[in-house]
A and B are shown apart, each in its own frame.
Chain A
Amino acid sequence: MSKKIVAMTGNHAVANAMKQINPDVCAAYPITPSTEVMQVFASFAADGAVDTNLVTVESEHSAMSACIGAAAAGGRVMTATSSAGLALMWEMLYVASGTRLPIVMQVVNRALSAPINIHCDHSDSMGARDASWIQLYAENAQEAYDNIIQAVLISEEMDVRLPIMTCMDGFIISHSIEKMELLDDNEVKAFIGDYKPHFPMLDVENPVTYGPIALQNFYIEMKRQQVDAMESAKQVILDVGKKFGDSFGRHYGFFEEYMLEDAEVAFVVMSSAAGTVKAVVNELREKGHKVGLLKPRMFRPFPAEEMANALKHLKALVVMDRSDSFGSAGGPLFTEVRSALYGVENAPLAFGKVFGLGGRDLEVHHVEELFKELDKASKTGTIDKVTDYITVRV
């Protein structure tokens, strides 16, 4: 195995992964902060470094529509977007998953309007959490790179056949240069293997109909199939993560447990913010506090049982959401985690904090303050407020 250590932004890392994946068709439309992914990829296409037919469509709606057409035609398809772009695709996200097409999309997380804001939060992809897309989240450029390579195998697996979005934080990861390792082109090629067609439209000798109208007598069966596909995806994600780890040394599962085993209190937080929290956990551990972190990687399918098992020994935990579900019982991650803990004997106290909307920085002192709340909850056995905001002026 030849290792190539590079300094690269998240966007460049993903574009390089796409080059190595060499999809048959990409259809995309520029939007900050994901623009650079397709821009860098376009230069690969212009140099003949990929076989990809790059379709520069006139909107994200058409980007996803063209991806759907291309995937149904029978080949590997990828795209990238952010924020409003993902929102404009909304209708087609459901069509892609309902039609069971393995499309791989890099989402570079960015806040939704209004007010318009180009910086990171998860309101875009979290809004798509019910769209029957698999969702993987990355903490850094390396994970973003590793995730999108694995995504190809996961979504194309015959028991899964669902589209997948791999997410990384806008600007914080997409535009920051980090040290990371690029795999060898041939190793990636061998890892993902050849595309396995499933009733391709271009097989004109065997004409098939894609996208019919299915009414009361069939629609719910097709939705139920998607549940099974999501369930199958769990094992496939574990298998692919193991295969990746065995091949390249970095193992992936549903979530990362950081100093969690003997912890009494813990943070649950996804993506780049986990890096900040890890730093605080290190610092607190040095002071003798039994604190840990669980960093979800896979949000869809949601590993409820596995997560509950990993968290059940805690006295208290805080779930940190970089998006809100306004008017609900908490941020999307919080409501999922708390629901996962329902029925667990002596379940830990859990509270949720929404943070960092529109790119507001999560700083070390914010996390330290949160630890104080956690500590207090674990000692008193009560929590003041189930959900609240941090990093906001009050």
Chain B
Amino acid sequence: MANLKELSHKPEHLAGGHRLCAGCGAPIVVRQVLMAADDPVVISNATGCLEVGTSIYPFTSWRVPWIHSAFENSAATISGVEAMYQSLRAQGKIPADKKIKFIAFGGDGGTYDIGLQSLSGALERGHDFVYICYDNGAYMNTGIQRSSSTPLGANTTTTPVGKVKQGKEQQRKDLAVIAAAHDIPYVAQASPAYWKDLIRKVKKALETPGACFLNITAPCHRGWRSKPEETVMLAKLAVTTCYWPLYEIENRKVKINFKPKEKIELTKWLERQGRFKHLFKPENAHIIEKLQKHVDDDWDRLQRMEKLDTIKL
């Protein structure tokens, strides 16, 4: 595994001058992902902040072939690109030894929600690609609307805190587990704060034949109501609180990649984010309890799964 000094020799595939917010988590994820690739990569990108921010005509930040076609179909689009590659290679129109890797990016809106069907289809068909969800926990591009990745209690523009409602009323959907239920060879969760783990996982996914899925937390300070400079710190706290465990499922075997010596209380992550501010009122303590319990239960479940020789979700 390369260290940062070695990685610094890699070409920078994402040019500066993109229009994502200062302190956005998404381009940090993208830069690390692209550093993991040794072979040429071709990318599809769902509609969303990342897509809009990096491709304002006539400017593009991408130094690799890239396509955006719509919101709900990043996986279907890359299916077509990959299918053409396989076809042309099989016909000898592309040299057989010409290796190209395929990556689909989508935010949580484009992945957990509107794009779930096309993701499921592409995973089931087993195209040789890596789907990367950069999960910022809401529809940030349209102005912070709740998604099925938004945590319980979060204040979003469609789950606003009001006189009778205290933010989102549902827990977050566990997409990594849903992806794993497709019995694909490799599923992982990662965080850009743990760049070494992230890059290793992307490399692993790219080298694994078939469809692989990575869910990567990408803090959004506009939606999370946090400080721009704390983006990476929040991506780290998400892990150390076990809200966002770093783990991988390889051929039905679960491995937790980081176990905090002492699990940090979730409130330490929540309190840095204005979207949870209302939860700290005494009358909302039960919401924080529920959130903490959800995290604890999931963490316990993950540890139990790790002990099994094999899991079939």
Contact = CB atoms under 8 A, between A and B. Distances in A.
Interface of A: 24-25, 27, 51-53, 55-59, 61-62, 65-75, 77, 91-92, 95, 99, 201-204, 207-215, 218
Contacts of A210: 65-69
A93 B41 CA distance: 26
Nearest to A73: B84
21 contacts: A56-B125, A58-B118, A62-B122, A65-B69, A69-B44, A69-B69, A70-B80, A73-B81, A91-B70, A95-B70, A201-B42, A202-B65, A202-B81, A202-B85, A204-B42, A204-B65, A209-B66, A213-B52, A213-B57, A215-B56, A215-B57
Contacts, number: 166
B73 A74 contact: no
A32 to B, nearest CB: 21
Contacts of B78: 69
B63 interface: yes
B118 A69 contact: no
Contact of B121 (A58, A71, A95, A218): A58
B76 A66 contact: yes
B84 A25 contact: yes
Closest A-B pairs by Cβ, 9 of them: A69-B80, A58-B121, A66-B80, A62-B76, A73-B84, A70-B80, A212-B55, A65-B76, A204-B40
Q: Which of A51, A65, A210 has the most CB of B within 10 A?
A: A65
Contacts of A27: 79-80, 83
Q: Which of A59, A66, A71, A207 has the most CB of B within 10 A?
A: A66
Give chain B's interface residue range (CB within 8 Å of chain A).
35 or more
Contacts of B81: 69-70, 72-73, 201-202
A61 B73 contact: yes
A57 B79 contact: yes
A211 to B, nearest CB: 4
Interface stretch (B88-96, B147-155, B202-210, B267-275): B88-96
Nearest to A54: B83
B79 A55 contact: yes
Given A73-B80, A95-B70, A210-B66, A53 B40 contact: no
A25 B81 CA distance: 9
Nearest to A214: B57
Nearest to A96: B69
A157 to B, nearest CB: 20
B299 interface: no
B120 interface: yes
Contacts of A202: 42, 65, 81, 84-85, 88, 94, 100
Contacts of A61: 72-73, 76, 118
B195 interface: no
Interface of A is mostly: mixed
A79 B68 CA distance: 20
B77 interface: yes
Interface in B211-226: none
B118 A62 contact: yes
Contact of A209 (B62, B100, B118): B62
B159 interface: no
A72 B118 CA distance: 19
Contacts of A211: 55, 67-69
A56 B88 CA distance: 18
B16 to A, nearest CB: 16
Given A53-B84, A75-B84, A65 B56 contact: no
Q: Which of B44, B58, B62, B83 has the most CB of A within 10 A?
A: B83
Contacts of A55: 79-80, 83, 125
Contacts of B73: 61-62, 65, 92
A77 B87 CA distance: 11
Contact of A73 (B60, B72, B85): B85
A19 to B, nearest CB: 15
B171 interface: no
Contacts of B51: 213
A319 B63 CA distance: 53
Interface string B113-154: 000011011101100000000000000000000000000000
B86 interface: yes
Contacts of B100: 202, 204
B224 to A, nearest CB: 24
B285 interface: no
Contacts of A214: 57
A56 to B, nearest CB: 7
B13 to A, nearest CB: 9
B80 A51 contact: no
B64 interface: yes
Nearest to B67: A210
Nearest to A94: B70
Contact of B65 (A24, A52, A92, A208): A208
A24 B90 CA distance: 10
Given A24-B91, A212-B56, A213-B57, A70 B70 contact: no
B77 A69 contact: yes
B66 A207 contact: yes
Contacts of A218: 57-58
A24 B87 contact: yes
Given A57-B125, A62-B118, A211-B68, 7 more contacts: A65-B79, A70-B84, A73-B81, A92-B73, A201-B42, A204-B100, A207-B64
Nearest to A208: B65
Nearest to B56: A213
A212 to B, nearest CB: 4
Contacts of B55: 209, 211-213
Contacts of B66: 201, 207-210
A208 B43 CA distance: 11
Contact of A68 (B52, B69, B118): B69
Contacts of A58: 117-118, 120-121, 124
Contacts of B80: 25, 27, 55, 65-73, 77
